[in-house]
Amino acid sequence: MLARLASAALRGLDAEPVDVEVDLSRGLPSWSMVGLAEAAVRESRDRVRAALLNSQFEFPLRHITVNLSPADQRKDGSYFDLPVAVGLLIASGQIDLRNRPSDEKLPFMIGELALDGRLNSINGALPLTLFARAQGFSSIILPEANADEAAVVDGVEVLPAKSLLAVARHLAGREQLTPYESKADTIESMANVPDMSDIRGQQQARRALEIAAAGAHHLLLSGPPGVGKSMLAQRLPGIQPPLTSEQRLEVARIYSIAGERGRTPLSATPPYRAPHHSASDVAMIGGGSVPRPGEVSKAHHGTLFLDELPEYKRQVLEVLRQPLENGHVCIARAADTLEFPAQFQLVAAMNPCPCGYFGHPTRSCQCSSIQIRRYRARISGPLLDRFDLRVHVPPVEKEELMGMAVGESSANVAARVHEARQRQYARQGDGVVNARLTPSQLEQFAMPDEAGSKLLDTAMSRFSLSARSYHRILKVARTIADVEGEERVSGNHIAEALQSRGEEDDN
């Protein structure tokens, strides 16, 4: 007998249709799986056999052929276990479908089988559920651990199952699975996000952080150890605008493919990623034999924080240049080329020298000039040029640190950031932030007044600024004007943008 079930193969963040065909024929007992299956799929033979026997089913002593069609498309993932096992049960007559209406489509099924027949969680449940809806399936059966993730998708009934036996009873009409009631509408609370009120002093750095959040600008914080650079960066998600419903779904798809379960599927909090400086270029950008999203994609619509920036390998830092400009990552392999979104905000922190105390008002630096130049040379000019804001964070005065005065809260700063973003969206279109303005849009929306133009012209000549630097200064100045609630970019906005970019420190 032949059984055919619909399934899908993940490709990047999307899924492509796959037919799981199971045929039982006469001959010596054997198992043959065809259709360009990777190791995790081929190993399903042993998992399915043990799961059937331990669930009190019979394993057919026939020649078993499992075909994953189309045959020239690579399939990877343990979620094929459930459709293969159900196909075997249907083909061998152990699941009787005669009680089901002939025109009723079987539910879409995904899940990894444990040896005792339990259904284990899988990666990619969200894009697979989106695929099932697009293919016209009204319901999907999947492991209980993935139910909350799949329930994000409207229009598909989610049927979580504990075991293969529960799935078989449901298909045979003996005991129906209970539809899952989604809790995904509950937005993750911001209570656990660190608050700006913890920061004492550092008015210039606080101002830079607010501007960076308002315009989604890249920010570099430089200063001695212990002045609060990491502390500032950790508070950026608390003042960034919450994710829109579309952005939440995009981020949830990335985390589903990556197999990370620490984030609520519909969390409105922008992602915050802080990889260790020992991370490889593949971990940062994504890849592998079966390409998976890297840190830059996991930070999509959020923040990628790189602490101790010069300690990262040069190759790791250089791979960031393309996604910083394009907002996506293209991973090319011999068998396939995939694209992952990577529209993130880069925030980095570094010391001014190897010992960290160059320029400190009270502690002397122990580094030679050669050591300082070598340390700073670890960051290439093209990468440094991509930071819109480069701010020096000085030591905090002891009076400010020991005083009881509480800094301005994240809620107050977030309100100003939200107003600035709304001005950008009203002027440039929904979702278009100042950091993403094109040169033609800058001419339309960010050209300064006469005083600002003269100041910018002087800075271009004095500091030999590149065209990229020129555009980024205009973007930052446009954001400063939005934070101040002003329509026109003035000379004061250009001056603050130049100061926040630290051009004088670089020359």
Query: How does residue 1 score in pLDDT terms, banded at 50, 70 and 90?
Result: confident
Q: Is the pLDDT of residue 264 over 60?
A: yes
Query: How does residue 504 score in pLDDT terms, banded at 50, 70 and 90?
Result: very low
Percent helix, strand, coil in the chain (nearest 5)? 40, 20, 40
pLDDT at 190: 53
pLDDT at 185: 46
Quickly list DSSP for 353-419: SSSS-TT-SSS-----HHHHHHHHTTS-HHHHTT-SEEEE-PPPPHHHHHS-PPPPPHHHHHHHHHH
pLDDT at 403: 67
Domain membership of residue 274 (yes or no) is: yes
**In angstroms, rounded to a whole number, what is the distance separating the alpha carbons of residues 428 and 288?**
38
pLDDT at 412: 94
Query: How does residue 405 score in pLDDT terms, banded at 50, 70 and 90?
Result: low
Q: What is the mean pLDDT of the chain?
A: 91
Quickly list DSSP for 448-499: B-HHHHHHHHHHHHHHT--HHHHHHHHHHHHHHHHHHT-SSB-HHHHHHHHH
State the total domains in the chain. Answer: 3
For residues 427 and 444, state if they share a domain: no
pLDDT at 400: 65
Domain membership of residue 187 (yes or no) is: no
Closest to 273 (Cα-Cα) out of 317, 303, 238, 252: 303
Q: Is the pLDDT of residue 135 over 50?
A: yes
Question: Which residues lie across from 346 on neighbouring strands?
Answer: 304
The long-range contacts involving 156-160, CB below 8 angstroms and separated by at least 24 positions, are 156/129, 156/132, 158/129, 158/182, 159/107
For residues 385 and 456, state if they share a domain: no
Domain membership of residue 191 (yes or no) is: no
Quickly list DSSP for 332-350: E-SS-EEEEE---EEEEEE
Residues 42-73 pLDDT 10s: 999 999 999 999 999 999 999 999 999 999 88
For residues 222 and 136, state if they share a domain: no
Question: What average pLDDT does the segment 170-195 reach?
Answer: 75
Which domain CATH number covers 302? 3.40.50.300
Query: How does residue 183 score in pLDDT terms, banded at 50, 70 and 90?
Result: low
Question: What average pLDDT does the segment 9-19 reach?
Answer: 93
Residues 93-133 pLDDT 10s: 999 887 777 678 899 999 999 999 999 999 999 999 999 99
Query: How does residue 361 score in pLDDT terms, banded at 50, 70 and 90?
Result: confident
Q: Is the pLDDT of residue 254 over 80?
A: yes
Residues 29-50 pLDDT 10s: 999 999 999 999 999 999 999 9
Domain membership of residue 270 (yes or no) is: yes
Which domain CATH number covers 443? 1.10.8
Q: Is the pLDDT of residue 79 over 90?
A: yes
Which has more pLDDT, 402 or 427? 427
Query: Is the separation of the CB atoms in 372 and 353 below 8 Å?
Result: yes
Question: What average pLDDT does the segment 156-183 reach?
Answer: 92
User: Domain ends where: 385, 408, 433?
Assistant: 433
Domain membership of residue 190 (yes or no) is: no
For residues 89 and 127, state if they share a domain: yes
Domain membership of residue 499 (yes or no) is: yes
Q: Is the pLDDT of residue 393 over 80?
A: yes
User: Domain ends where: 399, 433, 467?
Assistant: 433
For residues 120 and 202, state if they share a domain: no
For residues 241 and 368, state if they share a domain: yes
Query: Is the separation of the CB atoms in 498 and 462 below 8 Å?
Result: no
Please, where are the H alpha helices in 172-294? 203-215, 229-234, 245-258, 281-285
Closest to 89 (Cα-Cα) out of 26, 172, 33: 172
Q: Which domain covers residue 451, as residue numbers?
A: 437-507
> What is this structure's pTM?
0.90
**In angstroms, rounded to a whole number, what is the distance separating the alpha carbons of residues 488 and 57?**
74
DSSP category for residue 200: -
- Please report, for the chain, how many H helices and E strands are present, in that order: 22, 18
For residues 56 and 15, state if they share a domain: yes
Question: What average pLDDT does the segment 154-163 reach?
Answer: 95
For residues 426 and 468, state if they share a domain: no
What sign does the dihedral 243-297-208-325 (CA atoms) show?
A: negative
For residues 452 and 416, state if they share a domain: no
Task: Tell me how far CA of residue 244 lies from CA of 8, 182, 269, 292, in angstroms.
Answer: 28, 19, 10, 24
Cα Dmax for the chain:
89
Residues 297-313 pLDDT 10s: 999 999 999 999 999 99
Query: Is the separation of the CB atoms in 108 and 82 below 8 Å?
Result: no
Percentage of the chain with pLDDT > 90?
77
pLDDT at 181: 84
Instruction: Evaluate the omega torsion of the peptide bond into residue 341 and state whether it is cis, within 30 degrees of 0.
Output: no
Domain membership of residue 363 (yes or no) is: yes
Q: Is the pLDDT of residue 220 over 90?
A: yes
pLDDT at 319: 93
Residue 455 in tokens: 């100041």
Query: Is the separation of the CB atoms in 491 and 455 below 8 Å?
Result: yes
Residue 150: what residue type? Answer: A
For residues 161 and 216, state if they share a domain: no
Q: Is the pLDDT of residue 439 over 80?
A: yes
Query: How does residue 362 score in pLDDT terms, banded at 50, 70 and 90?
Result: confident
For residues 407 and 475, state if they share a domain: no
- Residues 98, 100, 106, 111: what is their CA dihedral angle, to the nearest 10 degrees? -80
For residues 479 and 357, state if they share a domain: no
Residue 253: what residue type? Answer: R
Domain membership of residue 176 (yes or no) is: no
**In angstroms, rounded to a whole number, what is the distance separating the alpha carbons of residues 156 and 139?**
5
Q: Is the pLDDT of residue 477 over 80?
A: yes
Q: Beta 328-332 vs 337-341: how paired, if at all?
A: antiparallel
User: Domain ends where: 109, 138, 171?
Assistant: 171
Which domain CATH number covers 50? 3.30.230.10
Host H or E run for residue 272:
strand 272-273
Residue 446 in tokens: 């960010």
**In angstroms, rounded to a whole number, what is the distance separating the alpha carbons of residues 196 and 410?**
5
Query: How does residue 503 score in pLDDT terms, banded at 50, 70 and 90?
Result: low
Question: What average pLDDT does the segment 143-166 reach?
Answer: 94
pLDDT at 399: 67
